[in-house]
Chain A
Amino acid sequence: MKRLGIMIFVVLACGLIFGAARPDPRIPPSLVRIAKGPALSMPALARLGIDVRQELATCLVALADRLDLRALRRQGLQLTVLERNAAGREFVLVDIRRPEAMSALQAAGRAVAVEPGTAVFWSDRGPAVESVPSGLARKVLPARSILPYLRTRAVPDDAPTAALAYDAYIVDNILPLVSIANLAADVQMLQDFGTRYASTAACESSGQALFDAFSALGLDQVRFEPFHFSGAYESRNVVAEKTGETYPDDVYIVCAHYDSSSPAASRQTLAPGADDNGSGVAAVLEAARALAGCDLDFTVRFIAFSAEEWGLYGSRTYAAVARTAGERILGVINLDMIAFADEAPEDIHCIVNAESAWLGDLFLDAGEAYGGVDGTRIVDPSFVYSDHAAFWEYGYPALDATEDDPLTNPYYHQITDTLDKLDLNFLVASARASTGLLAELAQPVKPGFPPTPVGLGAEWVVHRSLFNALSAVRLTWTAVAGAAGYNVYRSGAAHGEFLKANAGLVTASEFLDSGATLDGTYSYVVTAVGQTGVEGNRSKAVAPPADPSGAAAARSAGSFLLWSLR
């Protein structure tokens, strides 16, 4: 009995000793910088369950506990611990490209540069986002991991993109509706609220004005989407929709934030925000006006976000909900400060990440074709200081159109950011570029043209012998009433140029493309051709599944081979 007691004591003592010696791996997490490099693998991070909160050009910012850190180091990754105790803290990314930005930030709280031009900021004295000095662009780190939405393979940002198909219908019927007078009136209307600083009553009133403006256009599903931000505050995104006739569940978005900011002393009462971002909102309203009376194949959503200046709260809420709901957002055009010209002629800057580079290319084309404005595409995943970045976090393609990156507007976040400082010709050019691109993507349903085919499906058909394979892609779609035939277009790259795959008109509602090879990546669209020979809009693009069926099922019985000579 005594021996048993001793044994139980020893076992319990060992348990206590080893249990106490082993730290709880979950508390507290650290904020770490993971350098991008050859050793970085997104699938590996996913396997380890790393809580990645932000992707930047040269690194990832993540929360990691001790076990995570050990595992990451084992992967050969270069880590920098930015803050040992990250539990419960709010972290903000801040643009520190402006002179003195870093010193101002360090005076306001704790800041560490994570790459040139970008710092992580936090404060021990309260919510970090409210401690960031005014005039510095910021973005609050997401509250959850964005790893599921990060690409698993690098996308080349110079991949060829299909050129914009200049559409005379858009030029003749839609763009004339975008007027300089309307744009100026909308900016003035927003400026007249005095301030639109999120959390103020005036900001909510301006949201109501936008709601009324969308409603007056007869758009579908005009609605407020309320959200909470930075603890106790509440604001509303204003959303309106032009539901697509052919593909109602496939959505393009044009958006801008309607809240404004100015120095801390004045922003509760005066933050006119004519350029930032009355200009962007005016362009969204004008796009809505131009497209309201036009039937479209794809759904277009017009959104005015709030609390962008606080750290993208409105757009982040929206993108998170959209991702959770499984919404198919095909592209986002975010307009933020598109009316100040520091040179003549002014050009427009289009900021994208690698996955959205195709959209940027199209925007530049649209700038030339529909707006008469030159543009520059900038692939910069570190530019996360406008609402496009919220969509990047959730894996949606998005661009940010702005007058200059880095900013040159001396009235930025000042009480002097007023309509009289804007170049309205540049504003109308920017608005026509974005409206033209939106119309091009959403495809107006043109009278006298055959309907757009739907139900397009693609599958590999592969014939295999022991040593050779013959592959083709079989396409099927729903027959279009009254169509004389169809054209099938194939692209060899995502968002690449579509080339006709059929020699003569396809008369059945199926097509076998024997020009496709198994090692290629293809996507297809189909158009219907009317009895008079006019060709309708393109269907939604589809791609055959990457893994053709049948290959994996084949198994050789040669496994009981004894020996072989070569």
Chain B
Amino acid sequence: MTARRAAFGLAALMTLLAVPALAQELSLSVAAGGLVPLARDYREIYGPGLSVEADLWLKLRGHLGIAAGFGSLSDKGLALSSGEEEAAYPLRFRRTSIPVVLFYEIKAGGARVRLGAGASFHSFRETWQTVDLDYRASKASPRLVAAASIGLFGRLSLFGSAAYDPIRAGADSPLGVTVDVGGIQILGGISCRIF
């Protein structure tokens, strides 16, 4: 395990050292939107959530590039009840994510389309707001992303993305099945070219 971590660290370090030499373009995107949850339980309890994300897109030589960022999801819902109990228990779900993807960029007229794949590292927390119940966990998941930007003026572009994050979490779920707290995240915002 230690050897694997060392190899991973070394590879990351070499990448970081190599990237500036290969870098052609760096842009920052800031976007907000919603999450379409994969799990029915999640949809029933929380519905679509509000999501914001900021990403750095570093284009390397050729069509390839690497992107990393920070995302946050916040959602409010009500606990499911097995009976006709009138009491309602409000819930809050928050998720922070750090996605890292390798992307391939295609230019089509004035638009740029980026298709990427990578991983996302999530930390999430579910809180019962009126009862002392709380759950926190971390999870890594694969990520598929498609993003597009159209230049507006100067360095600014109109930006949109769709990302697929299946986050299988919930061996501890009292719903008796594994719960997926991920889904398809659709964001819109702006992108700014730094260099």
With both beta carbons as reference points, the residue of chain A lying nearest to B176 in the complex is identified as A551
Which of B48-56, B66-74, B97-105, B133-141 forms contacts with chain A? B133-141
Write out the residue numbers on chain B whose beta carbons fall within 8 Å of the beta carbon of A465. Answer: 45, 77, 79-80, 89, 91, 126, 128, 133, 135, 174
With both beta carbons as reference points, the residue of chain A lying nearest to B183 in the complex is identified as A557
Task: Select B82's contact among A462, A560, A561, beta carbons within 8 Å.
Answer: A462
A563–B167 Cα distance when bound, in Å, is 9
Which of B19-27, B35-43, B152-160 forms contacts with chain A? B35-43
Contact B45 A556 (CB under 8 A): no
Write out the residue numbers on chain B whose beta carbons fall within 8 Å of the beta carbon of A472. Answer: 85
Determine how close the nearest CB of chain A comes to the CB of B43; give it in whole angstroms.
Answer: 8
Determine how close the nearest CB of chain A comes to the CB of B85; give it in whole angstroms.
Answer: 5
A462–B176 Cα distance when bound, in Å, is 13
Contact B166 A463 (CB under 8 A): no
| A interface residues (Cβ-Cβ under 8 A, vs B) | 459-470, 472, 474, 512, 518, 548-552, 554-558, 560-566
Q: What are 10 A-B residue pairs whose CB atoms fall within 8 Å in the complex?
A: A461-B81, A463-B79, A470-B89, A474-B83, A550-B83, A554-B41, A556-B175, A557-B43, A561-B166, A564-B166
Write out the residue numbers on chain A whose beta carbons fall within 8 Å of the beta carbon of B135. Answer: 465-468
Write out the residue numbers on chain A whose beta carbons fall within 8 Å of the beta carbon of B137. Answer: 467
Contact B42 A466 (CB under 8 A): yes
Which residues in chain B, 97-147, are within 8 Å of chain A measured between CB atoms?
A: 119, 126, 128, 131, 133-135, 137, 139-142
Contact B176 A466 (CB under 8 A): no
A512–B86 Cα distance when bound, in Å, is 12
Determine how close the nearest CB of chain B comes to the CB of A59; give it in whole angstroms.
Answer: 39
Determine how close the nearest CB of chain A comes to the CB of B167; give it in whole angstroms.
Answer: 8
Known interface pairs A465-B91, A468-B126, A558-B168; A565-B175 also in contact (CB < 8 Å)? no
Write out the residue numbers on chain B whose beta carbons fall within 8 Å of the beta carbon of A552. Answer: 176
A361–B168 Cα distance when bound, in Å, is 51
Task: Select B142's contact among A469, A512, A560, A562, beta carbons within 8 Å.
Answer: A562
Task: Select B133's contact among A460, A470, A560, beta carbons within 8 Å.
Answer: A470
Contact B82 A466 (CB under 8 A): no
Residues of B in contact (CB 8 Å), total 44
Determine how close the nearest CB of chain A comes to the CB of B146; give it in whole angstroms.
Answer: 16
Write out the residue numbers on chain A whose beta carbons fall within 8 Å of the beta carbon of B128. Answer: 465, 468, 470
A316–B114 Cα distance when bound, in Å, is 82
Known interface pairs A461-B82, A463-B79; A554-B87 also in contact (CB < 8 Å)? no
Between B43, B82, B170, the greatest number of chain A beta carbons within 10 A of the residue's beta carbon is seen for B82
Write out the residue numbers on chain A whose beta carbons fall within 8 Å of the beta carbon of B41. Answer: 466, 554-556
A558–B135 Cα distance when bound, in Å, is 20
Contact B83 A558 (CB under 8 A): no
Contact A466 B178 (CB under 8 A): no
Known interface pairs A561-B166, A566-B139; A555-B126 also in contact (CB < 8 Å)? no
B181 an interface residue at 8 Å Cβ cutoff?
Answer: yes
Task: Select B141's contact among A518, A556, A565, beta carbons within 8 Å.
Answer: A565
Task: Select B140's contact among A459, A557, A566, beta carbons within 8 Å.
Answer: A566
Contact A464 B40 (CB under 8 A): no
Write out the residue numbers on chain A whose beta carbons fall within 8 Å of the beta carbon of B126. Answer: 465-468
Task: Select A556's contact among B81, B174, B180, beta carbons within 8 Å.
Answer: B180
Write out the residue numbers on chain A whose beta carbons fall within 8 Å of the beta carbon of B39. Answer: 556-558
Write out the residue numbers on chain A whose beta carbons fall within 8 Å of the beta carbon of B85. Answer: 461, 463, 472, 474, 512
Known interface pairs A555-B40, A557-B39, A558-B39; A469-B174 also in contact (CB < 8 Å)? yes
A30–B155 Cα distance when bound, in Å, is 92
> A466-B170, A468-B133 provided; 15 other pairs, C-beta below 8 A?
A462-B83, A463-B81, A465-B45, A465-B80, A466-B93, A467-B126, A467-B137, A470-B89, A472-B85, A548-B82, A549-B83, A550-B82, A554-B40, A554-B80, A558-B180
Contact A555 B174 (CB under 8 A): no
Task: Select A466's contact among B131, B166, B168, B179, beta carbons within 8 Å.
Answer: B179
Contact B177 A464 (CB under 8 A): no
Contact A565 B140 (CB under 8 A): yes
Contact A561 B89 (CB under 8 A): no
Write out the residue numbers on chain B whose beta carbons fall within 8 Å of the beta carbon of A561. Answer: 38, 166, 168, 180
Between B45, B87, B139, the greatest number of chain A beta carbons within 10 A of the residue's beta carbon is seen for B87
With both beta carbons as reference points, the residue of chain B lying nearest to A472 in the complex is identified as B85
Write out the residue numbers on chain B whose beta carbons fall within 8 Å of the beta carbon of A548. Answer: 82
Determine how close the nearest CB of chain A comes to the CB of B180; give it in whole angstroms.
Answer: 3
A468–B87 Cα distance when bound, in Å, is 16
Contact A463 B175 (CB under 8 A): no
Write out the residue numbers on chain A whose beta carbons fall within 8 Å of the beta carbon of B38. Answer: 557-558, 560-561
Contact B142 A467 (CB under 8 A): no
